[in-house]
Structure 1
Amino acid sequence: MYKKSVLNNKIVLLLFIIPIFTPQSFDFFIEGILGEIFLRWNVVNTIILFLIFLMRKKLKRSYSWSIISFWLLFLICSLITSNDLMKSINTWIGTAAPIINFMLLSNIIFKYNSKNYINLVSKYLFFLLSLNLILLIIFPHGVVSLQHVFTDGRASDSFKRVNFMATDNTTIQFLIVTILFSELRYYFCKVNSLFRKLTWIISGLTAVIIWSGTGIVGYLVFLLSSAIFVFPRGEKLKFSINSVYLFGIISFFIIVVFRLQSLFSFFIVGVLGKDVSLSNRIYIWDIAYSKILQRPLLGWGNNSKGWIIEYNWYNYYAHNLVLDILIQGGIITMLGMYFILNHSRVSLSRQRDKYLESLLSCCILSIFTMNITESQFTSAYFYIPFILAWLLSTYNPNSTRVNHKKLLS
């Protein structure tokens, strides 16, 4: 019985949850020692969870294997094209471990104890959210400022802000995931609406203070789509996940392929204060296309974490989800990502609960929107909504509401 499992203990469960959401700033404190500790913590947890996953025969396994297969494909492609095998392996481990960790942990727990799991993760993310805002106010230029370096090795005068949790755009993704867990917690038991409101308020303040163009657009898309489809008519007005995926495909062609972003120049220039080149992204995309054509099948590997595009004496990553996967892992890795995304889409399209489909669709819509001009496939926050879409459809096949008078323990 699951009640006898050590994972039913909240303290033990928290020990598995904490390293998944490692603050990115830890990679820079005390010469990266904190980041290294949390990385090893993640690796140990992932090994333990993988052994539990193999031993528990009643678990649903299809999506977990999709995630694992994608990262194995990415590793193989990176090793084949890499000039430094150990560096590629270390980079891969640091990226893949928290993602696989979250997938396996959620799969193991969701079948038996999903409400307590959602409750615990939601509260922990709220703690991180609050701490991140406090530190953002105290250190408006970031708890760490990274100096840009020219391709010839010279240091520039510009700096990149690293907030407590992550850089600006990844922080917005963290906000959206935190709101998602808060909404799921409220939905499954209707308790502590103040907690829910505070999550939205703190997230909104954080987004405004950061004011990253890509992040603001993603956050506004999530906020507005939720206002239409989730609050207060989420159970009556359904937001189809198929519509979200169609939007993602069309947006990619409009912005990245055909470069029609000038159609939105009023918002880009007048509201966000950016230019129609999308902060020079369109020029970076041109270089990305040429590099992809040079190695279309396997890509260039994960050396320097994809920062291999040289433009204006700096190195950049592709700043688009599709282009970045292709440039690092080629068509083979892109096929692995297709199966992950399509698996989530099919699962969520079968979700009978209109509220859950609408909520997760809004979240995925905002992620697709941000990844038009960003690439976040190496962040655990990118995968969480897709994993939850599968879990909530797989372990909630009848999609029936729980008794809201029953509180989460």
Structure 2
Amino acid sequence: MTSRLEPFSFARRIPSTPSIGSSTVTKPDHIHLSFGFAAPHLFPIEQLSASAADAVTQHGRKALQYSGAPGPGKILQWIQERSLVHGIRADLNQILVTYGSTQGIDLATRILVDPGDHVWVESPSFFSALQSFRAAEAVVTSFPIDEDGVRVDLIENALVEAKRDGRPIPKLLYTMPTYHNPGGVTLSIERRKRLVQLAEAYNFFILEDDAYSELNFTGNQYPPLYTLFPERVIYLNTFSKIIGPGLRLGWVIADQQVIQKVRLLNLGGSIGVFTQEILAQLIDNFAFQNHVDALSAHYRKQRDVMAEALREHFGEHVSFHLPEGGFYIWLRFADHVNTSEWVQDAASRGVSFVEGKSFFADPEGYHYARLCFSYVSEEQIVRGVKLLADSYFSYIGREAVRSS
């Protein structure tokens, strides 16, 4: 039977979401250097299993109701206490649990940004954040990063010029200052201080995405932007990188007025209360710092293996910053290289990566690529980088023939 339905016009504000980094490849031997996933063998499976059983037997009848049992309250207290390690002091009414930090990005955007408002971002930036800003119909302006993080001097120049010329000041500036995704860089302390001074002087909010800060490879400490100016910083973090992404739990810390407005959008009531109950049971009997130290040691070794493989197989054809933490190495090729033109060839050889253009608000970044060292084994990293290099050198060989 032939359908007589006419094409339907969906909301224009819904952004297109193309496949990222050959993410649809499902072959069992494929090497996913594109996936920003935690290492599955480091999930505390046995402890979570016991915690889930305890949640059911001790609090199951309450935990399965809308409001939950004691777990959500314990999680708030844990977040409050753990935040002190990073210098963040917040009352419980300034903390809100979310479905991962990505929901925090969406909620913050929805309470701050009307269609046509300006949002400023780093270049490159997290692609899901860019999608959220586009869905909000914001005007997105980007500023480049270097080895010390986003170029705050360029942000300052743009603010001065906008005020002088009567053009809009941003409502929101989104940043990942510590172990940036995808850039791997960390914003210097001097730039942090200047950025919050600009937020105060020009009265805009900073959305601080701090998803990777626990995964510290060097011991160097950087103050969250929130500690420098809590009145105009909305702080985001997540359990995804430190316990398991399938929990889908993160949190927002912000001024109480901000949290109150975010709650108005939380139409479903409390977030994952049974999952919070399980997590609360876990952290009651869990050596969390030992766990984080083990994660950091493992990922640091993974980073070093990937960096060595890149130097061996690519030589001077690629440059990168060695990250102090997190999951990613951000590759820069020669300006004429277009990573989008060989991402599928790499996938056909058995390795995926994310081409650079996916992380930019404007059509640029074609000579960059993001690799993730957290998800796969050391052997897969070495083999994957070799396959990646094979694809790259095949690409530049074809380009040389084409231009001759």
Normalised by the size of structure 2, how large is the TM-score?
Answer: 0.29
Bigger RCO (CA 8 Å, 6+ sep): 2
- Structure that is richer in strand per residue: 2
- Structure that is richer in helix per residue: 1
